[in-house]
Structure 1
Amino acid sequence: MKLLRRIVVIAAIVLVALYAAIVGYMFFNQRALQYDAEGPITPLAETALTQARAIALPSGDGTINGWYQPPRPGMPIIVYYKGNSGSFSREHERYARFVADGYGFIAFDYRGFPASPGAISEDNILTDALTAFDWAAEQGAPLLIWGRSLGSGPATYVASQRDAAALLLETPFLSAVTVAGERYPVLPVSLVMQDQFRNDQWIAEVSEPVLVAHGTADTTIGVSNGERLYALAPNPVDLWIVPGAGHSDLWDAGIWAEARPFFEQAMTP
């Protein structure tokens, strides 16, 4: 019995040590695990955006780089907050569709992503998001906010701090820490995660009309995140759930056809 007890004690110590090592590894490497900031930059000259221009905006202790095109007279600007993978420039076909329909846009990389040197952190991303919005506001046109995936965090935060005509959230999380907790249920993510992006708290201060779009086959951010976030919105307008759509499928599934009437309604006096 003494031998068995000793074996059990040793096994328990090993398991605790292993668990602590895993938690420690995730804590010290969490941003490398959380963000996918590598990827090529598409040159503006290689896109269909012949009237757009590159912009560089001072933000925090650095600069954010992106593209801007003004809208047609009387039309709004879409302030676009990108997702987690690669550079904003990879989505140039979206921006071309926006401008083809008369909308202006601003899109950029947060600091630490390919086009904008610097360190990635929640604080920096939120600062960069406000920088882009405030610069867009100076251009004099009405503003619409579009946040995709990771971008739902800064989009919701900005909408809680600034006035826009509408907020569209594409595959949003309830919070980043919610997604991490769902992915790693045995780890104390709420205690050690630094960049939690609490959409579930910020949404309470969002007065703008809200459209949430999600797919039922999204394995990156489960559809229940979008549904729960929409339920918390003070001014919910539309919840667009696409059966069988994954995390990156909503553009091809027709999200622009949903966004346009939503934006038009928001712009109607």
Structure 2
Amino acid sequence: MRGPVFKWIKIIIIVYCAIGIAFYYLQDQILFHPERKAKNEAYNFDIPHREVNIAYDTASNLNIIQFTTKDSIAKGVVLYFHGNKKNISWYAKFAPNFTKNGYEVWMIDYPGFGKSTGKMSEQRLYDYALQLYKLARTKYGKDSIIIYGKSMGTGVAAQLASIRDCKRLILETPYSSMRGLVQTYFFMYPLKNMLHYNLPTYEYLQKVIDPVTIFHGTDDRVITYRNASKLKPFLKPGDEFVTIKGASHNNLNDYPLFHEKLDSLLRQ
């Protein structure tokens, strides 16, 4: 009896260690799914836009697409931080949500996404976001800047809003923290020492002095509604948590309530 028991214990330990080691070294590939784009390859968007490149350092480039409005003078700008896959091309379809309400939309790609280059790290995500904000301030006042995060980008957006003023912070399908989200799937591992990314949205929300609106669907299976609800205790009086019943992670844009509420915020 003793032999088979110890054999299975040994197998379990080996498998546990193998999965843990693989996750530690491959976590960037597991968490992020970028699509690169050649530097000289043009974007073919139907929406009017400008492309801007900022040299972060000698080896790193921050690529920005600025979707413009039909109005001669824009009401303001939405700094849009997208999710963990592909590149700006995938998220450009959401720009009209804002441009139709008179706002420009400036999207960045993270290091390794699209035409942006550089070494991926949590601090680099924050640094690129701050560069975008500084660029926006050369044209717009802080009361004309909306910071918007979608999925993985919600932690980046929340961090930026915690250190810089804006008109409003809007988070679409956020998580309480990246570490807490991954812990749901890898609860058996000491992620505090393993995971390179924390992105503690709940901590940053406590430092945001401007209005906050959160959108989340009840049927989200990527970032569960339960996980996002952990942010509710950190909202200020006047902040909003908008529940979209039946919505999943990637289809909030299909729900009238999402558009009604977003349009209402952008018309203020």
TM over 0.5: yes
Match in the other structure for 1:224? 226
Match in the other structure for 1:81? 81
Which runs of structure 2 are paired with 1:188-199 in the superposition (5 Å)? 188-199=190-201
1:201-254 CA-partner distances (Å, limit 9, x unpaired): 111111111110011111110012222213312355221111111101111214
Q: Is the 8 A contact 2:52 2:64 kept in 1?
A: yes
After superposition, the Cα gap between the structure-2 partners of 1:231 and 1:203, relative to the gap in structure 1 and judged at 3 Å, is same
Match in the other structure for 2:213? 211
Structure 2 gaps, min length 5: none
Moved over 6 A (4+): 39-42
After superposition, the Cα gap between the structure-2 partners of 1:181 and 1:246, relative to the gap in structure 1 and judged at 3 Å, is same
Q: Distance in 2 between matches of 1:110 and 1:149?
A: 14
Q: Which of 65, 68, 84 is matched with 2:66 structurally? A: 68
**Superposition deviation, residue 43 in structure 1:** 4.5
Which runs of structure 2 are paired with 1:1-40 in the superposition (5 Å)? 4-38=1-35
Q: Which structure features the higher share of helix residues?
A: 1
Q: RMSD in angstroms over aligned alpha carbons?
A: 2.1
Amino acid at match of 1:47: F
**Superposition deviation, residue 90 in structure 1:** 2.0
Task: Please state if 1:111 is matched with 2:94.
Answer: no
1:32-53 CA-partner distances (Å, limit 9, x unpaired): 1111112679944x32322x21
Match in the other structure for 2:125? 125
Q: Which of 173, 179, 189 is matched with 1:187 structurally? A: 189
Q: Is the 8 A contact 2:148 2:157 kept in 1?
A: yes
1:95-120 CA-partner distances (Å, limit 9, x unpaired): 13422321112112011112212332
Aligned length: 260
Q: Secondary structure at the match of 1:205?
A: coil
Q: Distance in 2 between matches of 1:111 and 1:154?
A: 13
Q: Percent identity?
A: 23
Q: Which of 258, 262, 268 is matched with 1:259 structurally? A: 262
Structure 1 gaps, min length 5: none
Q: Distance in 1 between matches of 2:47 and 2:35?
A: 23
**Superposition deviation, residue 91 in structure 1:** 2.2
Match in the other structure for 2:136? 136
Task: Please state if 1:167 is matched with 2:164.
Answer: no
Q: Which of 40, 44, 47 is matched with 2:45 structurally? A: 47
Amino acid at match of 1:157: Q
TM-score normalised by structure 2 residue count? 0.89
After superposition, the Cα gap between the structure-2 partners of 1:235 and 1:143, relative to the gap in structure 1 and judged at 3 Å, is farther
Q: Secondary structure at the match of 2:181?
A: helix
Q: Distance in 2 between matches of 1:70 and 1:58?
A: 22
